[in-house]
Amino acid sequence: MSRCSKWRLLAILAVCLWAGRGNAADARRSIERRHPLPVCPTPRCAPALPVKDISFGRSSSLPGAFVNLGGTLLFTATDPLHGRELWRSDGTASGTVRVKDINPGPEDAFRDFDDELFISFRPLVVMGGAIYFMANDGVHGDELWRSDGTEGGTVLVKDIQPGEGGGFPRNLSVVGDTLFFSAMDDLHGFELWKSDGTEEGTVLVADINPGPEGSTPSSFAHLGDTLYFSADDGTHGSELWRSDGTAEGTVLVRDIAEGSEGSSPFWLTALGDTLYFVAEEALHGRELWQSDGTPEGTMLVEDIVPGEESSSPWALIATGGRLFFFARTPATGEEPWVSDGTESGTFLLKDVFPGPEDSYPDIDPSRFRTTLDGSLIFNADDGIHGVEPWKSDGTPGGTVLVKDINPGADSSVPFLPVAVDGTLLFAARDAKGRDELWRSDGTEDGTYRMRTVTGGPRMSAPRGFTASGESVFFLAFDDNIGGELWSLPLASLGDCGTPAGSLGLHEAGARGLVPWAAILGLPMLALSVLSGRRRKWPLMAVMLLVVPGLACTSVDAEEGSPEVTDFHSSCKGPVLVRDVAACIEDSVPENLVDWRGMLYFTANDGRIGTELWRSDGTRGGTRRVDDIAPGLAGSDPQELTPVGGLLYFSADDGVHGRELWKSDGTAAGTRLVEDSVPGPQGSAPRNLTVADGKLFYVAANASDDWELWKSDGTRGGTTRVKAGVAPWNLVALGRLVIFTAYDPETGSELWRSNGTRAGTYRLADLVPGPGSANPIFLTAVGDKVYFAAFTAEFGGRELFVTDGTPSGTRLVKDIIPGDDGSYPEGFVGLGDTVYFTATSTGSTPELWKSRGTAASTVRIGTVSPVPFSLVAAGGQVFFRGSADGVDVELWRTHGTASGTRRVKDIVPGPEGSDPQDMTAVGDWPFFTAFQADTGREAWRSDGTEAGTVRVAELVPGPLSSYPGGFTRSGSRVYFAGDDTATGAELWALPLACLPPSGK
């Protein structure tokens, strides 16, 4: 090769390497050039355009609920087109497939995934050759399903509560060949059910608390073939029960706290032929109990804190013939204890943090407590080493620190450990703040980090370890692909990862060009130069030369040197199974609200989790308000509620649990209002409602009892209004808040409050005595609140109204006299008239209206178009309707039969456009509609056929952008949409760009 050719080769190599250095910022600028800001210089305006691609890059499928079924891994995962659905894997990319799209389209079939902890709270349960779980197919609501791992074998077991509501089966527990669970229906409330996997074999076991209240069974455990659980029969309160699967064999074990209060047994744990649990009664407080299933064999183990005070044991776990748990005393704080069921055999293992301080402040020990070879493994802070892993063999001398993973006072906070083949796998935080994969055999030398999952600074946060076949599967995060399914060969759990191990993945990149890449890449590049093939070969060469270095080098930002991992080269590290949600990352804008001409919302930028954001409709003006919970999890703000000059919401900062927060729109002005329940438990505020300029809400106390609270934004002005009742369904009526609340004497009835204790009382006992009227769908219309409630203990549900006084709280009309009920719902107000759906004949909903009297409560027309999803806008009521039950389109009514008609037949024929997500934006309803050639996109209507038009098509062609959350702020309508290029992001549509009205 001539000297000129050599220089030519080097020059081209330099150019190729320079061209390959592009990063996310370059790609972002490219996206912005393709999507400029919306400008409307003429009546013919550009389509809707992105405000800002907050989460640029690739999305996460966040697999969870792992379970092994006959050597195949079954789990749930999310992709943008199908939502969270059931998947299976044999450990290969081709063998990792979706089992079935249970809820067709982007809606989730599984709705129990915690986006903060990245775990599922309702597991998939194995019985026989199938798994059982709760899922929602979009038609039957949350019901019991089963799957054998195939699409055809994934079926609904039984529609326990007919309709879209669902029976909400939970507490799934296998006893022999029977699946026990709790579920609800309108007649019985939540009660104990069982199933053998067939529809006919899925039946109510016993109606423990007769009527619609239900006994709410929970805390399932079993001894032999007998199920134990807590339940409330309406007489004894929540107490310990047992069942053999028959109504006759379902009995109260013992009324521990005599009377209607109940002892509230929980943490039921079987050890040998004895059941241990925690219960509370007046004489001893909340302490440790045991039972052999008989009244006389159900007794207190030990009154750890003598008298009425409580030691509050929790996180019970059995191993090695012992019961381990955590309990608090005034002298030692909360520490690990052990028991053999006798008073003398129940004792403190070690005061890990000497004195009255807890050894694990601000963390939940149940998230790191497991067993390994008969020993307890748990988290603790001794005041010297921070929160680190400890173990106990059941003796004080054998209760020791395993390893100070993050040396010194800093904590590694090990998380969600799982024992697999005698090895403990868990996530722990190193000195650089990264949560990585660790393993332990319970000794200091046998506790070390395994191969780092990520190639960069983002923590890998592995969790959900589950053995299946020859591998351990888990969720982990990577900088390039997000949170996906990974696997680790079981053979790698032996002696892999010792500090003496050789250099691995990251070091290979640090040494420069990978040898094989250099051997193949340089000749390929040279061949391209000499042959004149300037397209394919240079690209392939650059990929071989550049990509291995980029993928394998991890430069430590603090030290500026490549990271060296500590594992044996002979062991295989974690490998990606499949990037289920490849190439797209979603910020998922939600909770959109207009406040002071600015849009506030929540979003996840992929780096700090879901936090509070604001936007003025420009990229530069769209920014995060504050990072409330530093780190990947995010604070997940909910229920954004403006009150005067402040925005209130609930959030979890990772220290105080979910509590009430406020913001003035700045980071400095975003702060915690009040830590109502000190520590990480939180009070979980919900139902934030503004009445008379005051914020009312529902919050839980330390015992998880719901109470009514109010706040003026200060600590002193944030106070409990009413305790002893469980409120929900808050709605403002003038200076009052109207709500549903439960107390043992009168059941669930309608209440009111003006913010004072004296002004908070029950409006009416609509179903006298302990029976409940269960008021629901509370809707303020004019100076009244309309709602649906039961007319008798076993009667039907009808239309009621209240003006906020006891005398003004009454039945409006008994549309179907007797026990059946018309079941009104979908209330929406237009002027002083409430519109709703009800069933007067048969089972088909009809359109009704009322002004609060029996005479004014009438069906609109003699033939209704099966109405759903009512929305009032522009002096009309719009709704989804179908005259024949098939062709679902947009309808509207003026309140008369002649004024009720289909607005537009968007998709002619029997299919229909199926309008969804209907939201009133000013005088217009915005909604989504589906057409075969455009997919599901955003529409708007003024009530005329000509004025019912598609306003955006983010994805040209038949694919759908699934827009939603339509909210007006300033001169724009905002919504979330997925253009398949940037994922689900925030979009804005200038009002000036909307098509003209058809009126």
Helix (H, G, I), strand (E, B) or coil at 539: helix
Q: Quick one: which H or E segment has residue 545?
A: helix 536-552
Same domain assignment for residues 379 and 317: yes
Looking up tokens 């071989």 gives 544
Relative orientation angle of helices 515-531 and 3-19, to the nearest 10 degrees: 120
Are 310 and 372 within one domain?
yes
Where is the domain boundary, 493, 528, 543? 493
pLDDT of residue 114: 66
> Do both 468 and 443 map to the same domain?
yes
Using alpha carbons, select from 665, 661, 724, 663 the residue that is nearest to residue 688. 661
> In 498-589, where do the E strands start and end?
575-578
Dist CA 835 CA 134 (whole Å) = 34
Q: 272, 267, 284, 274: which is closest to 326 by C-alpha?
A: 267
pLDDT reported for residue 204: 97
Tokens coding 539: 């690209």
The total number of structural domains that make up the chain: 2
In terms of domains, do 272 and 326 share one?
A: yes
Under a CB-based contact definition with an 8 Å cutoff, are residues 301 and 287 in contact? yes
Mean pLDDT, the chain cut into blocks of 10 residues (999 residues total) = 40 40 38 35 33 45 88 88 88 85 90 66 89 94 95 95 89 96 94 96 96 93 96 95 97 93 94 96 95 96 94 92 94 94 95 88 59 90 90 95 89 83 86 81 88 53 83 76 77 53 24 35 42 39 34 28 31 42 62 91 83 86 90 88 94 93 95 90 94 94 90 91 91 96 91 94 92 94 95 83 96 88 93 93 85 95 76 93 78 92 90 90 92 92 93 87 89 85 81 70
Residues 360 and 427 occupy one common structural domain: no
Is there a single domain that holds both residue 399 and residue 472? no
What pLDDT, on a 0 to 100 scale, did the predictor assign at position 257? 93
CA-CA distance, 275 to 908, in Å (whole number)? 63
The token pair that represents 734 in the structure block: 């003038």
- Reading the block at residue 510, the tokens are 């640090």
- Same domain? For 269 and 396 the reply is yes
Contacts of 707 (CB under 8 A, 6+ apart): 698, 699, 700, 701, 720, 721, 722, 723, 724, 725, 727
- Give yes or no: residues 391 and 420 share one domain: no
Q: Are 845 and 827 in contact (CB under 8 A)?
A: no
Full residue range of the structural domain in which residue 443 is found: 49-90+416-493
Tell whether 43 is covered by a domain.
no
Query: Per the domain annotation, does 376 fall within a domain?
Result: yes
For residue 368, the 8-state DSSP code is G
DSSP H or E stretch at residue 932: none
Cα 29-31-32 angle, rounded to 5 deg: 65
Please give the angle made by the CA atoms of 206, 727 and 655, to the nearest 5 degrees.
Answer: 100
Per-residue model confidence as pLDDT tens digits over 569-618: 333 434 444 344 443 367 788 999 999 889 999 988 777 788 999 988 87
Residue 887 is predicted with a pLDDT of 80
CB-CB contact of 818 with 835 (8 Å):
no
Q: What is the predicted pLDDT for the residue at 116?
A: 58
Predicted confidence at residue 532, as pLDDT, reads 42
Domain boundary among the residues 436, 468, 493 is at 493
* 241: β partners: 229, 252
CA Rg value for the chain: 31
Predicted pLDDT of residue 824: 93
Strands 203-206 and 646-652: unpaired
What are the CA-CA distances from residue 158 to residues 130, 132, 238, 992 (Å)?
15, 12, 28, 51
Residue 801: the pLDDT is 97
| Positive or negative torsion for Cα 264, 266, 271, 273 | positive
Q: Is residue 441 part of a domain?
A: yes
Q: Please report whether residue 307 resides in a domain.
A: yes
What token pair was written down for 590? 């939600």
Which residue in 983, 982, 980, 943 sits closest to 959, CA to CA? 980
The torsion defined by the Cα of 5, 7, 12 and 15, in degrees rounded to 10, comes to -170
Does 939 map to a domain?
Answer: no
Q: Are 381 and 466 members of one domain?
A: no
CA nearest neighbour of 876 among 929, 917, 833, 907: 833
- Residue 298 sits in the same domain as residue 427: no
The torsion angle over the Cα atoms of residues 552, 553, 556 and 557, rounded to 10 degrees, is -120
Tokens of 413: 């906070």
**Does any domain span residue 55?**
yes
Tell me the C-alpha distance between 466 and 449, whole Å: 18
Examine the fold and report which residue of 493, 527, 562 is the final residue of a domain before the chain moves on: 493
- What is the predicted pLDDT for the residue at 238? 95
- pLDDT attached to residue 585: 60
One DSSP character per residue, 960-972 reads ----EEEEEETTE
Q: Do 391 and 273 share a domain, yes or no?
A: yes
- Look at the block and give the residue holding tokens 């997925």: 978
pLDDT of residue 886: 61
Residue 724 lies in a domain: no
Is 469 within a domain?
yes
Kindly state whether residues 397 and 469 are assigned to the same domain: no
